[in-house]
Structure 1
Amino acid sequence: MAPYLRTVKSFADVNTEGGVDTLQFLEASEGLVGLLDLLGSAPFAVVQADLKGNITKVKARYNAVSEKSKTLESLVENEKGEKKRTATEGLLWLLRGLSFTCGALQKVQADKKQELAAAFSKSYEENLKQFHNFVVKGIFSVAMKACPYRVDFFAKLRADKDGGPEAIQEDLDAELDKWLAALNTIVQHMQDFYEKGEYGKGF
């Protein structure tokens, strides 16, 4: 088995022509949830559960009306006017969670001396804190402090689970940078989409 990033769908491979492909985006998002397993921190289970729950909400909508949900944009547009808009809300929170994770990892990539705890804490302040109540802020604060050292995290990212040769750090950095850049582009696009269409009202 290859190092982790080569075993999951890359955001760089998600089709965005004419809209963000719903199933491909959800598959890549599930890969990001799995990446959080490498942090090996029990408090991060809360973050993962939140991401998984929102992925499930979007997927349920796709399965219910797939013809009207092939892209994230069409999924949101076709749910507008409905009373609950469960998938629209789920996707909004998923995007916030992805933005938080992407921002933290981009900080770590930009500064090779920065530890994960500092990067995740800064990204939380920038991307998620404003949406959380006192209790949730406390949970996330504990999770950030429990991040492993970057050297241990990257050792896990390079490792082959079947004992094969590990990835070269330079190759991993190039792959991770490409993965994060594509994720950031999709998240920014969808957040702009929500803002222009006022789809996030009430959430």
Structure 2
Amino acid sequence: MAPYLQSVSSFVDVPVADAGVDTVEFLKAAEGLAGIFDLLGGIAFKAVKSDLTGNIEKVRKRYEAAREKSTTLELLVQNEKVDKQNTATDGLMWLLRGFAFTCKALQIAQENKTIELKAAFQKSYADTLGKHHTFLMKPAFTLALNACPYRAVFYEELAKDPNGVSTLSQDALGEELDKWLAALAAIVKRLQAFYEGLGIKNPIQF
């Protein structure tokens, strides 16, 4: 059986064309990213994962309600605006904020092989998601960040299959994770520019 990153849909495989980011494949990959928080600590990161999955569901509901007008995320947002709605538009924006936070934290960890996850996630939170949180929202995330597992433990979990057997070397894992994060970052930055083009001031920090 495959280790985690090979068992879920990858952002590497999400089609991106002139019309935009494929909605269905994006949602599949988004669910895979949300599952990473189970590896980080199911209880401590419950609120973080719940926030992500809740926003994924908002986007999915809009897609299912208007499939022909929602084949890409950009079309989904544009047509929801025409219909004078914004639930999925807001949900996607918050989802992308969460993705920026997660992506940047793991990129920091990848770039500095000695940094612990707690420090990587704290730095990323301050630069991304934390700028959008109120003082009422920050305590839950602070609690989760303080509960980050040791770097070595997390990377070992990423390399294991569902039976707990390591089937991927750390070098191979690092290469795969870099590709996964690069594809995710490209999508987030593309949609960040798209939202800014709609006139929303700094909707996503990356």
TM-score (norm 2): 0.94
Letter in 2 for 1:156: E
Letter in 2 for 1:154: Y
What residue is the counterpart of 1:104 in the other structure?
A: 105
Deviations, residues 34-68 of structure 1 (Å, cap 9, x unaligned) = 11110125221100000000000000000000000
Partners of 1:183 and 1:87 in 2: how far apart?
Answer: 19
What residue is the counterpart of 1:159 in the other structure?
A: 160
Partners of 1:69 and 1:53 in 2: how far apart?
Answer: 19
- The 5 Å alignment of 1:179-190 reads 179-190=180-191
The unaligned stretches of length 5 or more in structure 2 are none
Instruction: State the 1:117 CA deviation.
Output: 0.4
Partners of 2:105 and 2:97 in 1: how far apart?
Answer: 12
Partners of 1:96 and 1:143 in 2: how far apart?
Answer: 17
Is residue 9 of structure 2 the alignment partner of residue 3 of structure 1? no
Instruction: State the 1:198 CA deviation.
Output: 2.0
What residue is the counterpart of 2:12 in the other structure?
A: 12
Partners of 2:37 and 2:51 in 1: how far apart?
Answer: 12
Is residue 6 of structure 2 the alignment partner of residue 43 of structure 1? no
Say what the alpha-carbon RMSD is for the aligned residues.
1.7
What residue is the counterpart of 2:60 in the other structure?
A: 59
What residue is the counterpart of 1:117 in the other structure?
A: 118
Check conservation: 1:89, 1:200, Cα contact below 8 A: no
Instruction: State the 1:175 CA deviation.
Output: 0.4
Identity over the aligned pairs, expressed in percent?
A: 53
Partners of 2:203 and 2:72 in 1: how far apart?
Answer: 22
The unaligned stretches of length 5 or more in structure 1 are none
Partners of 1:82 and 1:192 in 2: how far apart?
Answer: 22
1:200–1:90 Cα change, 3 Å: farther
Deviations, residues 8-39 of structure 1 (Å, cap 9, x unaligned) = 11101100012100010010010001111101
What is the DSSP-based 3-state SS (H/G/I as helix, E as strand, rest coil) of the residue aligned with 1:38? helix
1:9–1:202 Cα change, 3 Å: closer
What is the DSSP-based 3-state SS (H/G/I as helix, E as strand, rest coil) of the residue aligned with 2:17? coil
Count residues with an aligned counterpart: 203
Is residue 190 of structure 2 the alignment partner of residue 176 of structure 1? no
Check conservation: 1:88, 1:199, Cα contact below 8 A: no
Partners of 2:202 and 2:180 in 1: how far apart?
Answer: 30
Instruction: State the 1:202 CA deviation.
Output: 9.8
TM-score (norm 1): 0.95
Check conservation: 2:156, 2:166, Cα contact below 8 A: no
What is the DSSP-based 3-state SS (H/G/I as helix, E as strand, rest coil) of the residue aligned with 1:34? helix
Partners of 2:131 and 2:153 in 1: how far apart?
Answer: 30
Instruction: State the 1:200 CA deviation.
Output: 6.8
Partners of 2:83 and 2:98 in 1: how far apart?
Answer: 24
Check conservation: 1:58, 1:91, Cα contact below 8 A: yes
Partners of 2:11 and 2:200 in 1: how far apart?
Answer: 23
Greater shift after overlay, 176-185 or 38-47?
38-47
Partners of 2:77 and 2:181 in 1: how far apart?
Answer: 24
Greater shift after overlay, 141-150 or 41-50?
41-50
Letter in 2 for 1:152: V
